[in-house]
Amino acid sequence: MIVLGFESSCDETGVALVSDTDGLLSHTLYSQVAMHQEYGGVVPELASRDHVRRILPLTNQALADAGLTLANVDAVAYTAGPGLAGALLVGASVAQSIAWAKGLPAIPIHHLEGHLLSPLLADPRPEFPFVALLVSGGHTQLMRVDGVGRYTLLGETLDDAAGEAFDKTAKLLGLGYPGGPALSKLAEQGDASRFDLPRPKLHSPDLDFSFSGLKTAVMVRAKGLGLVKVGEDDQMDPQTRADLAAATEAAIVDVLVGKATLALKQTGLKNLVIAGGVGANRLLRERLAVQLRRFGGRAYFPPLALCTDNGAMIAFAAAMRVKAGLAELNTERRAFTVHPRWDLEDVCQAD
């Protein structure tokens, strides 16, 4: 079975072809990051319009890369939420139109389920059950995963997501948007021990997170050093900026590693799967790999290119749901909707 998958929930247009037996056949991606950069964040209307511009050329390219045509496709999948309504509607309409024209089923997919299952696209592939640490721009969650559609939330952030903490601190340090990768790169030249930043909730017995205080702590340190207005009046020397970046990264990573370890202890599971954009962070990858070895378990990551938003994870999640008997393969009913807000529990299997 070959699934054509579309992702358009935010500022990446992604299209991919996945086979249930041969895995990923091709994927194409266009990131709108440069377009939104001058606004310091994603502008929803611009995002929707750009998805419209990119999605068909990306589809043709994905088909060509895989050496296939639409006649080879057995099902179409798309991100139905959560995300920006207008952006989601682009992927949903294109997917539904292709499905209608070709008499194929169209499978709506939850964006986080896509992230969550993406480490299964890598080799070696983790076995169920495992603990998943989902760390993206909008979410920070620890989940117990017993199978496809069998997800139990163990804990989540009470305020900012880990990716948001990276992005907001990066902005504060004048590193632009999205700041995670830039902050992480700058941190390589910094000395994390120079600034003692808080590790929010690291020692609490629950599995929740809180990152909003971290940004404030960095701001207080930055102001103390004379950095009053970011970009203008910037009086911070490059080394101090790098040291602050390193201290921020170290604080976020410490908390993520600590809570992931606690989740493994509490569930008695040995394997940890990391998903979402922050999963691309090198320090987090290194620290988790070491920690899990010490713990007698193993850390599994998605391929680096599939950490942030992409179509492959959506096509793959759909193929997995079909295999598990969890996707409705309807080719008659064509009404559809998108869900800008959507709980992952809504796509869980009833026990």
Annotated binding site for substrate: 134-138, 167, 180, 281
DSSP lists the bridge partners of residue 106 as 76
Name the residue nearer to Fe ion (CB basis): 138 or 198: 138
- x/- letters, 164..203, toward ligand ATP (CB under 6 A): --xx----------xxxx--x-------------------
Q: Which two tokens stand for residue 342?
A: 């959507």
Nearest to 9 by CA among 101, 171, 139: 139
With CB under 6 A, what is the number of residues at the site for ligand ATP?
22
Q: Does 278 bind ligand ATP (CB under 6 A)?
A: yes
Residue 11 CB, shortest distance to Mg ion, in Å, is: 5
Q: Which two tokens stand for residue 160?
A: 């900012």
Name the residue nearer to Mg ion (CB basis): 186 or 278: 278
- x/- letters, 135..164, toward ligand ATP (CB under 6 A): -xxxx-----------------------x-
**Amino acid at the residue 76:** V
**Amino acid at the residue 225:** L
14 binds, among Mg ion, Fe ion, ligand ATP, none (CB under 5 to 8 A by kind): none
The answer to whether the peptide bond before residue 129 is cis (omega within 30 degrees of 0) is: yes
Q: Is there a contact between 320 and 151 (Cβ–Cβ < 8 Å)?
A: no
DSSP lists the bridge partners of residue 79 as 109
Name the residue nearer to ligand ATP (CB basis): 70 or 230: 230
Q: Does 313 bind ligand ATP (CB under 6 A)?
A: no
How many CB atoms within 10 Å of residue 79?
32
With CB under 5 A, what is the number of residues at the site for Mg ion?
4
**Amino acid at the residue 316:** F
φ, ψ of residue 133 in degrees (nearest 5):
-105, 110
Name the residue nearer to Mg ion (CB basis): 145 or 278: 278
List residues near Mg ion by CB under 5 A. Answer: 10-12, 309
